[in-house]
Chain A
Amino acid sequence: MNVIVKRINAADSGQIEAKINTFLGDPAHAGYALAAAFETSTGDVVVIFQKP
């Protein structure tokens, strides 16, 4: 199982969905799915992708 953890800056909070879709649409990330996402107290969003 592979896991990739990424961060989305608070300034880009309006583009979270677009950024995730871009990541998942990249052929290099084929097989990955969104596993979890949470917002930190600074407003950044941490996104965890997982490939079984």
Chain B
Amino acid sequence: MTTSLPEIKSLLIAVAMISCAAFSTGCSTAGAHQAFTYRKMHSNPHPEKVLTYSYDPAQSTPAQPFFKAAYAGSGYSNSVRNRILYELMGMVDDYYYRYTFELRADISGKNIFTDTLGLGTSLASTAAGAKELKTVLSAISTAAQGVSKSIDSNVLLGNTIQAVRLQMDAARADIATEMIKKMKEQGTTEYPLEAGLRDIIRYYDAGTLTSGLANLSKESGKDKANAEAKQKAKATNEQLSTLPAL
């Protein structure tokens, strides 16, 4: 086998690129935020803002339920309950907007990278003179495209991410509206802080990808059932219209 220097260079570049691609695939979740409560507990410099409890070791009672203590200290007032819930909703909103932004950016970045890799190795294969090297490069190119295909599911997700996001927005808006209505109209007997904290968890959950996808599937299922019912009704009407007129 006679392989020229430029051909070896091309091969090395292709190998380096495929290694990077494999690495980036393996790290597909890098940079994504951890779960809301976990992140707040382990990376937030203000642990007193953990969802319900403070784990501040400087306090004499590190496991003090921060929000619940403030709520009890106010004599279970509506306004303190509302302020606590609004603050938590704001934290969830902040997390949600950053989460959806990063989700979109992560998927688009990977797509461009693997497309470039596939294109690069194919071009190198065409330009290489030696038959053996061509085979090697083609094999690498095929492998690279295999990596790309494995990411295609993510790319597909990227194309539908807007639909999922709309679903998440709708679910979050429903819960927020429900919470605000309760906070305005109900006292702490009917809607205590504990119930509000439970709604905060639901509010956070509605903004997760899992929940969004599940809701999207549910809505798609409903749409499908409606479409089938309409089609069936249309077919029935068409059949009835063939009856002889009286």
Q: Using a CB–CB distance below 8 Å, which chain A residues touch chain B?
A: 5-9, 19-20, 23, 40-42, 44, 46-47
Chain B residues with CB under 8 A of A46? 240, 243
Q: Which residues from 189 to 246 on chain B have a C-beta closer than 8 Å to any C-beta of chain A?
A: 233, 236-237, 240-241, 243-246
Contact B240 A44 (CB under 8 A): yes
Q: How many contacts A-B (CB < 8 Å)?
A: 30
In the assembly, what is the distance between CA of A44 and CA of B240, in Å?
9
| Cross-chain contact of B246 among A8, A40, A41, A42 (Cβ < 8 A) | A8
Chain B residue with Cβ nearest A43: B237
Report B235 CB to chain A, min CB distance, Å: 12
> Which residues of B are interface residues toward A (Cβ below 8 A)?
233, 236-237, 240-241, 243-246
Contact A7 B246 (CB under 8 A): yes
Expressed in whole angstroms, the Cα–Cα distance for A23 and B244 within the complex equals 13
- Least CB separation from A16: chain B residue: B246
Which label, helix, strand, loop or mixed, suits the secondary structure of the A interface?
Answer: mixed
Tell me if B's interface is mostly helix, strand, loop or mixed.
mixed
Q: Are B243 and A6 in contact (CB under 8 A)?
A: yes
Q: A8-B245, A23-B246, A41-B237 are in contact. List 15 more A-B contacts (CB 8 A).
A: A6-B243, A6-B244, A6-B245, A6-B246, A7-B240, A7-B241, A7-B245, A7-B246, A8-B246, A9-B245, A20-B246, A40-B240, A42-B241, A44-B241, A46-B243
Report the minimal beta-carbon distance from B233 to chain A, rounded to whole angstroms: 6
**Interfacial chain B residues near A41, Cβ < 8 Å:** 233, 237
Q: Which residue of A lies closest to B230 (CB)?
A: A41
A to B CB contacts below 8 Å, 9 in the list: A5-B243, A7-B241, A7-B246, A8-B245, A9-B245, A19-B246, A40-B236, A41-B237, A44-B241
A40 touching B244, Cβ below 8 Å: no
Residues of B within 8 A of A20 (CB): 246
**Which of B233, B236, B237, B240 has the most chain A CB within a 10 Å cutoff?**
B240
* Cβ contacts under 8 Å, B236 to chain A: 40
Please, how many angstroms separate the alpha-carbon atoms of A6 and B163 in the complex? 48
A9 to B244, CA, bound (A): 10
In the bound assembly, the distance between CA atoms of A8 and B212 in angstroms comes to: 48
Residues of B within 8 A of A44 (CB): 237, 240-241
Residues of A within 8 Å of B244, CB to CB, are 6-7
